[in-house]
Amino acid sequence: METKMPKRKLGNSGLEVSAIGLGCMGMTFSYAPFPEKKDMIVLIRKAVEQGINFFDTAEIYGPYNNEELVGEALEPLREKVVIATKFGFDIQNGKSMGISSRSEIIRRAVEGSLKRLRVNVIDLLYQHRVDPNTPIEDVAGTVKDLIKEGKVKYFGLSEAGANTIRKAHAVQPVTALQSEYSLWTRQHEHEIIPTIEELGIGLVAFSPLGKGYLAGKIDEQTKFAEGDIRSHLPRFTEDARVANKTLLDLLQNFADRKKAATAQIALAWVLAQKPWIVPIPGTTKLHRLAENIGAVSIQLSGEELEEMEAASAQIKIMGTRYTEALEKTTGL
């Protein structure tokens, strides 16, 4: 069955994208072993054929090879797509020296991203992680200048706090906040989501399937390959994988009722939270791409959402999403 992909507006900015985007990070970064580049070019182009027009990458993924992949795949389809990328790391000789959003670092990143993505303007440019050493007003000011110069269309932040979002937004309107959000990562509901709702900023939800866990294919027997970031994450220890199964059982219950996959229920839940939230699940498999797209046709009623809310409120998720060191330095 062909799924008609609806569009969503990211807040009040006027930027309209497909209701589900495609996170491209895992194609070259974090989830080794990596597939063949030619297969990923096919997958990205298939995504466009199936109605996805919103693609997410970053300079740090690789570094560089993720943007190169996305650029090559989408060059013939440029007029149909919205490409988001990110700055925020001082990269020297292909290695990250750490977080930095100094003006010259941002400008260097943008020049590189434009070339690698094979575009003359970046549709949506995020600060990848907040730089504690550079005032956010300065960061927003640099991006404002880049927008005036015609190199960038829209400004975004990633994993920023409410206060940072307000300060940035006062200098250059923020179109989207990209942060982790899913049925098992909900800390942003307390302060962040009300703040961006008030300011008219969209939410781009990364890891809406909990780095794959909510798709129901990872259990205590799963062995992560060398180079798979999940082998280092507290939420993916063997004990946590067993303890967190209760959440999968809840998703499975709804999947059975809706004749859907657990991943589709997890995505449908994210889509049902606000009309300006756009999840960007990543995948390297064509059948998962089709499955994720199918989530847009699943409607969860008010009663079903209340039932999910009540049941999930009883579930204590084991394990933090990152170690403290990764939380501070990572661009995942």
Using CA atoms, how far apart are residues 128 and 159, in angstroms rounded to an integer? 8
Q: Are 120 and 132 in contact (CB under 8 A)?
A: no
Count other Cβ atoms within 10 Å, centred on residue 319. Answer: 16
Using CA atoms, how far apart are residues 178 and 206, in angstroms rounded to an integer? 7
Cis? peptide before 173, omega within 30° of 0: no
**Cα distances (angstroms) measured from residue 297 to each of 8, 104, 304:** 14, 44, 15
Number of residues that this document lists for the chain: 332
Query: Quick check: is 61 catalytic?
Result: yes
**What contacts 88, CB < 8 A, 6 or more positions away?**
60, 99, 100, 101, 105, 109, 126, 127, 128, 129, 131, 158, 331
Using CA atoms, how far apart are residues 27 and 42, in angstroms rounded to an integer? 12
DSSP 251-270: HHHHHHHHT--HHHHHHHHH
Using CA atoms, how far apart are residues 26 and 302, in angstroms rounded to an integer? 34
Annotated active-site residue in 31, 61, 64, 213 = 61
Please list the active-site residues.
Answer: 61
